[in-house]
Amino acid sequence: MPIPLDAAEVLNREFLEVRAKILEIAAALDRLDRADGSVSGDQRMERIRQGLAALARPGSDRAEQVQLIFSLPYEEGWRKQFQLTEGRG
């Protein structure tokens, strides 16, 4: 289903909001750097870095890619691990 607005209209509508959100992220990262201590080894920081990198890549599925970065992996064999049988009913 197409977006009724063209790209220029989307940009006109959303430019200031996108700018504001980027500023919020920048300020939060600055806050982390100003605070005492270090979180460089925290896995959440690595996910934030991966999320920011995903924004810079081309494509129309960035939101899905960011969701995947912040998700625990699905494991095919989970039923066996839980000792649950398949094929009920």
> Which residues neighbour 59 within 8 Å (Cβ) at sequence distance 6 or greater?
65
Q: Number of C-alpha atoms within 13 angstroms, CB side, residue 52?
A: 11
Q: Which is nearer to other proteins, 31 or 88 (CB)?
A: 88
Provide the minimum distance between the beta carbon of 36 and other proteins in the complex, in angstroms, as a whole number: 26
| Interface with other proteins (CB under 8 A) | 1-5, 13, 61, 63-64, 67-68, 70-75, 78-79, 82-84, 86-89
Q: Which is nearer to other proteins, 36 or 71 (CB)?
A: 71
Number of separate helices (H) and strands (E) present in the chain: 4, 0
